[in-house]
Amino acid sequence: MEDLVLASLDSAVFDVDNLIENIAYKSTDGNVINEDFDPTLLEGKFRQAMSILQDYQVQTEQNIKHLEELCEKERNTWSNSVAQLEELYQSTYTGQQELEMRISVISTKVIQIGHQLESKSNPRQQLVDARTTAKYLERFLDANDDVSLMFQDASKLEQAAHIIHQLYNVLQELPDEAKFTDAKTKVKDRYMAIEEELLLEFSRAQVRNDKKAMKKYIKLLSKFKGHNDCIQNFITDCLKGYFDNPNIDIFNSIPQLFVKVSELINELFDQPEKVTERLIITVYTEKLAPYVRNQLDPYLRNPDLDNMEKYLQTLYTLYKKATKLSNDLQTQKISDDPAFLHKLNQHVFKSYLKTYSKYELNCLEEKFQVHLERVESSGGQRRIKPTGLSITDIIQQRLLNTTDQVDESRFSPDLAAALLQDCKTAMTRITTLSEGSEASENILQCFLRLLNALGNQHIDTELQYSLQAIPGPEPKQEPDIRFFYAISQTNNSIQLIERYFVMDIASLLLGTQQQSQLLQSKEKVFGQLEELINIGVDKALLCIIGYARNILNEQKRSDFKPENEINISECSPICKRVVRSLDTQIVRLEQTVDGKNLIGILNEFGLRFHRLITDHVFKFEYNISGGLMILQDISEYKKCSKKFRSSTVDQLFAILHALVNLLVVVPDNLRQVITEGHLASLTRDIIESFVQLRTDYKSARLHAMISSDQ
């Protein structure tokens, strides 16, 4: 029993109900429903379990109390330790403050003593130097004293440099009198000789990589005029042989050179940033600039289209690499002037950037002309130069020299893609090689050339040519209207230009004067093309409707007034030919035009077709058989009108069908029919105009039936 209770207590989740069930089950062996069940035994087991639990509770409370005593004791111990540490920290902090104050007082006294010693020592040293300088000056002033061998001891070069520098400065203060002229000449000669010797010794030390000696000579030369020569010699020796390999990548080598030399410069020179600037200037002007000239100048000697394209692309590549080089070097904090490297970069490319715009735009213009000529030649025609010829002249020559209506290959999707790609390539170079207002102007001129080549020279010309190739308004044969293909190609090209403008150009010209100029030019070109399309659509629909009219004209008056009744189960053959012709033109239209353009053209097509059929109906008089015949034709036309995708056209043909139906309505029912459906909203004049077409209009006194009040 005890093991059972303790096991339940040691479990992760103590469940008293489960414990009671287990005790009951163990005590009765599961036989709680038998007649010999002994409740007393079960009570005893429960009391035993409760006793075990009570004992466990007492033991647990004792353990808790013991642990609390231990925790309290340990807390007191650590509290005392913390208090002692706080006291020790406070004592240490106070001692540190006192020590810092004593150090500050001592430092002040040391500085004061140093200043006092310096004030005492400097005058003494200055007196010694002055006495030494005066002694040597006396010798130089003595015309009989031979000073040619003075300062010849190489081991005392440092001392000689110090003395000759002081002598030189002193004599510069003396007036230009005859008694000082000889001395000044002698000192100047020795000054230059020692300076030359110092430069030579510095170069030797650099060859030996003796940094200590190099630093010593740099310090000595800092007092001489030849200090700049020392820096230049140092730079020249650093660059010697570094760029001699013709296969070396100069743009990668310059950063490597800087990393290699910068540490040495910082170690040797007191003002390393000045030396570094001098090094970079030398590299850019003496190494990078000649490299750029060697890469670019050969193309300029023979400036044909191929060489110009290579020249522009090479210039772009070199400038981009040089800009990246400058940006990489700028991260090394070479100069305090943030524009230092940019100015150097501009200096290297100055002469090329000055003429870049002219070459870029001329090259783009020539490439556009090459593409246009290629399209013309592929179409079987030699391109006619626009100079001296109008668009009309070009079109007339084409029409005289061709047998087909429209050469669809002239509208080349590849041409638009090629022109656009050339423009994008030029635009990429422009945004890199041009800045500010010049960049905006170059972008404008580049895009205007694209508009002119694709819009004016290609699409406009081909549209006008296609327009002239449309047959007249009364063709005898079914017209093959390929002008719709021209509309499709024009729209595709316009969408390409518009997408390119929105995605790439608009953001580059935002807020500039060139933005408004470009928008005006673009809208002007697109407006001209839209006007040509509208003219062509009108002419094409006139041609299609004219052919349908010629078919309808084959019907005669007698066709709708047959003397004998005939069985009419389908539309007339003329109607079938008209519908077949319309179906052909609509399919061709749907294959070449889409979107809003297709909807607009189909709507206009449907309106004109409705007008044609209405006019055709009014040309004849109809008896009952003729009325049934024309009604059958109108039903077929109404079914065909669904293909125009216009609710307006659908409604017009529905009304026309209702009006033509009046031709076959029994006279007694006529008054009721005109008040129902589509006819209810029409005026009596319109209704009567159709009823008048009946042969029994007068005999049946139909006018009275229509006009009488209801």
Per-residue pLDDT tens over the stretch 554-563 = 999 888 888 7
Q: Measured between alpha carbons, how far is 493 from 254 in angstroms, rounded to an integer?
A: 47
Residue 702 confidence (pLDDT)? 83
* Averaged pLDDT, 77-82: 92
Q: Work out the number of other CB atoms within 10 angstroms of the CB of residue 287.
A: 17
Q: Measured between alpha carbons, how far is 444 from 438 in angstroms, rounded to an integer?
A: 10
Q: Measured between alpha carbons, how far is 269 from 72 in angstroms, rounded to an integer?
A: 69
In contact, 419 and 450? CB cutoff 8 Å: yes
Residue 239 confidence (pLDDT)? 78
Interhelix angle 391-401/461-468, rounded to 10 degrees, is 50
Residue 101, token pair as written in the block: 């104050």
Residue 149 has pLDDT above 80, yes or no: no
Residue 619, token pair as written in the block: 């040309």
Higher pLDDT, 471 or 227: 471
Residue 150: C-alpha distances to residues 141, 347, 460, 531 (Å): 14, 48, 92, 98
Higher pLDDT, 10 or 77: 77
pLDDT band with cut points at 50, 70 and 90 for residue 335 = confident
pLDDT band with cut points at 50, 70 and 90 for residue 386 = very low
Residue 446 confidence (pLDDT)? 94
What DSSP letter does each residue of 383-398 carry, written as one string? PPPSTT--HHHHHHHH
Q: What is the DSSP letter of 288?
A: I
Residue 143, token pair as written in the block: 């015309």
> How confident is the prediction for the chain on average, in pLDDT?
81
Per-residue pLDDT tens over the stretch 292-324 = 999 999 998 888 889 999 999 999 999 999 999
In contact, 449 and 364? CB cutoff 8 Å: yes
Residue 652 has pLDDT above 90, yes or no: yes
Place of tokens 């093309």: 529
Most confident of 84-93, 204-213, 390-399, 556-565: 84-93
* Averaged pLDDT, 677-705: 87
What are φ and ψ of residue 694, in 5° steps? -75, 145
Residue 404 has pLDDT above 60, yes or no: no
Nearest to 419 by CA among 446, 445, 440, 442: 446
Q: Work out the number of other CB atoms within 10 angstroms of the CB of residue 320.
A: 15
* Averaged pLDDT, 188-217: 75
- On the 0-12 / 13-18 / 19+ scale of CB atoms within 10 A, 246 is exposed
Any idea which of 239-243, 485-489, 705-709 has the lowest mean pLDDT? 705-709
Higher pLDDT, 282 or 174: 282
Residue 573, token pair as written in the block: 């053959």
Residue 697 has pLDDT above 80, yes or no: yes
Residue 430 confidence (pLDDT)? 93
Q: Measured between alpha carbons, how far is 1 from 6 in angstroms, rounded to an integer?
A: 9
Per-residue pLDDT tens over the stretch 218-266 = 777 777 776 777 777 778 887 777 777 777 788 888 888 888 888 778 8
Residue 330, token pair as written in the block: 């700028």
What are φ and ψ of residue 622, in 5° steps? -135, 130
List the chain domain ranges: 38-141, 150-347, 411-536, 555-707
3-class secondary structure, 684: helix
> Which residues make beta-bridge pairs with 694?
622
CATH architecture of the domain covering 555-707: Up-down Bundle (1.20)
Nearest to 605 by CA among 460, 469, 484: 484
Residue 156 has pLDDT above 80, yes or no: no
Q: Measured between alpha carbons, how far is 528 from 317 in angstroms, rounded to an integer?
A: 39
End-to-end Cα, the chain, rounded Å: 112
Residues in the chain: 710
Residue 407, token pair as written in the block: 């050469």
> Which residues make beta-bridge pairs with 622?
694
Calculate what percentage of the chain has a pLDDT beyond 70.
Answer: 81
> Residues 6 or more apart from 114 whose CB is under 8 A from it?
none
Residue 69 confidence (pLDDT)? 92
The CA angle 318-322-325, to the nearest 5 degrees, is 140
Sign of the Cα torsion 54, 59, 62, 67 reads negative
Q: Give, for 277, the enclosing helix (H) or strand (E).
A: helix 272-283
Residue 201 confidence (pLDDT)? 77
Residue 383 confidence (pLDDT)? 40
Amino acid type, 330: Q
